[in-house]
Amino acid sequence: MNLENEINKDKLPKHLAIIMDGNGRWAKQQGKLRAFGHENGTKSVRTTVEACAKLGIEYLTLYAFSTENWNRPKLEVEILMKLLISSLKKELKTLQENNIKLHAIGNLNSLPTSVKKELLEVIDKTKNNSKMTLSLALSYGSRDEIINAVKNISEKVKNNIISIDTIDESIINQHLYTQNIPDVDLVIRTSGEHRISNFLLWQIAYAEFYFTEVLWPDFKEEELIKAIISYQNRERRFGKTSEQIK
Ligand code: IPE
Ligand code: IPE
Ligand code: MG
């Protein structure tokens, strides 16, 4: 039986977030340089994006580069930035054909000008697409995002635009990079690591987690479907008892 048929289309995660990990180890296994792993990782990005759009996932967020990743060797950072530009150029067509809107979260001002320019161009060209929103987390750190939100809210309090009493979850949400994007339902992390690495800490408060040993360049549609089936077999109780939600 085709695995995809086992997915319940009415119970899809609305927001899927993926920590794409393991490119370096994948390359090492083949006796190649890390860059080779990153290049092959972009192929998994394309297949995953297309598969999610086809399934009907509304929001897909991909962790592509963290604030901590700036601490990698300079050459690796340069390679990743170049790869980003070439992928954006190449995948514009994929986004248009699949009616996908591109969005980015993170400290975009810290990206090289050439990357930012290409990114904003693709965001602009896809802004009217409506099947799926693809958010790329670039120079993204959850703590950085929270600090940024606290600063912006404080500024508004200082200028009497909002009062302290009205600060609630929705105000916080509106000041995060993910404003207008719903909370994460499912997080997938590849490569066997069981950690969050500063990703969407606020937004994953009630997310389900799926960890797989598969390295990111080997992550294909079948693994995605397995993760979704696992998600669909869980009971999300949000603090209530099992009986209450039946
Ligand atoms: C994920 O793969 C890509 C980025 C973090 C940019 P890694 O480069 O972290 O691969 P490993 O973890 O070293 O195998
Ligand atoms: C997390 O992967 C960041 C991305 C996938 C972009 P890392 O490979 O940087 O994570 P740690 O540092 O090993 O936790
Ligand atoms: Mg890693």
Residue-range definition of the domain harbouring residue 213:
9-141+183-234
In a domain, 157, yes or no: no
Residue nearest to atom 1 of ligand 1 (CA): 21
Does 2 score more than 90 pLDDT?
no
pLDDT tens per residue, range 173-224: 999 999 999 999 999 999 999 999 999 999 999 999 999 999 999 999 999 9
What 3-state DSSP class applies to 156? helix
pLDDT class for 59, splitting at 50, 70, 90? very high
Q: Which atom of ligand 2 lies closest to the CA of 69?
A: 9
What distance in Å separates the CA atoms of residue 14 and residue 60, rounded to the nearest whole number? 8
Residue 204 tokens, joined = 């994953």
Distance 195 CA to ligand 3 centre (A): 11
66 lines ligand 2 (CB under 6 A): yes
What distance in Å separates the CA atoms of residue 177 and residue 168, rounded to the nearest whole number? 17
In a domain, 38, yes or no: yes
In a domain, 203, yes or no: yes
Residue nearest to atom 8 of ligand 2 (CA): 21
What distance in Å separates the CA atoms of residue 245 and residue 234, rounded to the nearest whole number? 13
20 lines ligand 2 (CB under 6 A): yes
19 lines ligand 2 (CB under 6 A): yes
In a domain, 107, yes or no: yes
pLDDT tens per residue, range 71-130: 999 999 999 999 999 999 999 999 999 999 999 999 999 999 999 999 999 999 999 999
| Catalytic hit among 40, 69, 71, 160 | 69
Sign of CA dihedral 156, 127, 62, 107: negative
Q: What is the total count of domains within the chain?
A: 1
Distance 124 CA to ligand 3 centre (A): 30
Residue nearest to atom 13 of ligand 1 (CA): 24
% of residues, the chain, pLDDT over 70: 100
69 lines ligand 1 (CB under 6 A): yes
157 in Cβ contact with 164 (< 8 Å): yes
In a domain, 148, yes or no: no
pLDDT class for 246, splitting at 50, 70, 90? confident
**Sequence-distant (≥ 6) Cβ neighbours of residue 165 within 8 angstroms:** none
User: CB atoms < 10 A from the CB of 27, how many?
Assistant: 21
pLDDT tens per residue, range 152-180: 999 999 999 999 999 999 999 999 999 99
In a domain, 246, yes or no: no
pLDDT at 1: 59
In a domain, 49, yes or no: yes
Q: Which ligand is nearest to the CA of 19?
A: 2
Closest Cα partner for 46 from 110, 139, 134?
134
CATH number at residue 41: 3.40.1180.10
22 lines ligand 1 (CB under 6 A): yes
In a domain, 125, yes or no: yes
Distance 216 CA to ligand 2 centre (A): 12
Asked if 21 is an active-site residue, the reply is: yes
| Mean pLDDT (the chain, rounded) | 98
**Sequence-distant (≥ 6) Cβ neighbours of residue 150 within 8 angstroms:** none
